[in-house]
Amino acid sequence: MSAVLSDSEIQEKLASLPGWIREGKEIIRTYEFPTFPEAIAFVDRVAQAAEEANHHPDIDIRYTRVTLRLTSHDSGGLTERDFALAARADALA
Amino acid sequence: MSAVLSDSEIQEKLASLPGWIREGKEIIRTYEFPTFPEAIAFVDRVAQAAEEANHHPDIDIRYTRVTLRLTSHDSGGLTERDFALAARADALA
């Protein structure tokens, strides 16, 4: 179980993750792709990274738009693991 | 563009699709899988069927649970296309 980050730690980390916003205990980003198959291919890459990290975002697919929501349920807030997977998802987009 | 179905047509079609419920202009079903990779594999199969049908459900992934929402935006309601893809998704689960 990872330590819950403070508000200032979260702000600092968000500053290096453009496109991600915080909503309470979650961080959220929506990605847009040229086609539906490209959106699904991104979901597949994120899913593989999520399984490797044993940390699974909520994933909403709306045609060519994919929204990821991250939180650390077991810790009860946002932790390093959320920001690590957010950065990984950005690299896979 | 397909014709919007009447309430009685919708009720009749839902009767042959256990697990699907109607919410206004949408039909909705949640599937549960033993593992996250199995949930993602289902999403991949549904995505391929959706692309072939050029009819794309909203897809929400919550770890091992996948929720599909279907409507025919261009027709402004539920049509044959929604029920055809619902049956196809059931066959792919």
Task: Say if the Cβ atoms of A56 and B50 lie within 8 Å.
Answer: no
Q: Is A37 at the interface with chain B, CB within 8 A?
A: yes
Answer whether residue B21 is part of any domain. Answer: yes
> Tell me, what's the pLDDT at B27?
98
> Tell me, what's the pLDDT at A2?
84
Answer whether residue B59 is part of any domain. Answer: yes
Task: Report the CATH number at residue A46.
Answer: 3.30.1360.20
Q: What are the helix (H) ranges across chain B?
A: 7-15, 36-53, 80-92
How many other CB atoms are found less than 10 A from the CB of residue B12?
12
What total of structural domains would you count in chain B?
A: 1
> Tell me, what's the pLDDT at B1?
72
> Tell me, what's the pLDDT at A1?
72
ipTM over 0.90: yes
> Tell me, what's the pLDDT at B79?
98
Q: Is A62 at the interface with chain B, CB within 8 A?
A: yes
Answer whether residue B2 is part of any domain. Answer: no
Task: Say if the Cβ atoms of A59 and B58 lie within 8 Å.
Answer: no
Q: Is A49 at the interface with chain B, CB within 8 A?
A: no
**How many Cα atoms sit within 13 Å of A50 on the Cβ side?**
29
Answer whether residue B1 is part of any domain. Answer: no
Q: Which domain holds residue A15?
A: 7-92
Q: What are phi and psi of A81, to 5 degrees?
A: -65, -35
Answer whether residue B88 is part of any domain. Answer: yes
Question: Which residue bears the tokens 């279907």?
Answer: B70
pLDDT (tens, 9 = 90+) of chain B, 93 residues, equals 789 999 999 999 999 999 999 999 999 999 999 999 999 999 999 999 999 999 999 999 999 999 999 999 999 999 999 999 999 999 999
* Nearest chain B residue (CA) to A70: B62
Answer whether residue A55 is part of any domain. Answer: yes
Answer whether residue A2 is part of any domain. Answer: no
Q: Is B28 at the interface with chain A, CB within 8 A?
A: no
- Alpha carbon distances (Å) from B43 to A26, A40, A84, B60: 24, 8, 24, 9
Question: Which residue bears the tokens 């029920």?
Answer: B83
> Tell me, what's the pLDDT at B2?
84
